Structure 1
Amino acid sequence: MIRVELLKLFRRPRTWMTIGLLDALPTVVAILLAVTGIGPRPGQGPAFLSAVLTNGSLFAVAALAIVLPLFLPVAVAVVAGDTVAGEAASGTLRYLLIRPVGRTRLLVAKLVSVFAFVLTAVVVVSGTGYLVGRALLGDQPLSAVAVTSVSGTSLTSGQIAGRTVLAIGYVAFSMLGVAAVALFLSTVTDSALSASMGALAILIGSSLLLTIDASRALQPYLPTRYWLSFIDLFRDPILWRNVLRGVALQGVYVLVLLGAAWANFTTKDVTS
Structure 2
Amino acid sequence: MLRVEIATQLLRVRSLVLLGVLIGIPVLAVVTHGGHGDETLSALNFAESGLNFMDPVLFGLVVAVIGSTLGGADHDWGTLRYLYVRPVSPRRVITGTWWTLVICSALVVAAFLVAAVLTGAVAFGWHSYHRGGVSVLSTATAAWATLGAGAYLAVCLLSLGSIALALGLLLPRSVEALGISVAFLIGSVMIENVRALHAVAVVLPEHYWMRWTQLFHAGGGSGGLALGVVVQAATVVVAMSIAWVVLHRRDPAA
Report if TM-score (shorter chain) is over 0.5.
yes
Aligned positions of 1:61-210 closer than 5 A:
61-90=48-77, 92-99=78-85, 100-136=87-123, 138-142=124-128, 147-148=129-130, 154-210=136-192
1:228 to 186, 210, 216: 210
- 1:5 Cα deviation after fit: 0.9
What's 1:30 paired with? 30
Q: CA 1:271–1:209 in 2, change beyond 3 Å: closer, same or farther?
A: farther
TM-score (norm 1): 0.86
Structure 1 counterpart of 2:22, which letter? L
Structure 2 unaligned blocks of 5 or more: none
- In structure 1, distance between residues paired with 2:80 and 2:199: 44
- In structure 2, distance between residues paired with 1:32 and 1:172: 28
Q: CA 1:63–1:98 in 2, change beyond 3 Å: closer, same or farther?
A: same
- In structure 1, distance between residues paired with 2:104 and 2:137: 31
- In structure 2, distance between residues paired with 1:54 and 1:205: 35
Structure 1 unaligned blocks of 5 or more: 39-49
Q: What's the Cα RMSD here?
A: 1.9
What's 2:42 paired with? 55
- In structure 2, distance between residues paired with 1:57 and 1:161: 7
- In structure 2, distance between residues paired with 1:57 and 1:160: 7
Say whether the 8 Å CA contact 1:22–1:72 is kept in structure 2. Answer: no
Structure 2 counterpart of 1:96, which letter? Y
- In structure 2, distance between residues paired with 1:199 and 1:181: 7
- In structure 1, distance between residues paired with 2:40 and 2:92: 48
- 1:240 Cα deviation after fit: 2.5
- In structure 1, distance between residues paired with 2:13 and 2:71: 19
What's 2:5 paired with? 5
Q: Indicate the percent of aligned positions where both proteins have the same amino acid.
A: 22
2:33 is equivalent to residue 14 of structure 1: no
2:197 is equivalent to residue 215 of structure 1: yes
Structure 1 counterpart of 2:217, which letter? R
Structure 2 counterpart of 1:141, which letter? H
Q: More helix by proportion, 1 or 2?
A: 2
Say whether the 8 Å CA contact 1:229–1:242 is kept in structure 2. Answer: yes
SS at match of 1:154: strand
Q: CA 1:149–1:173 in 2, change beyond 3 Å: closer, same or farther?
A: farther
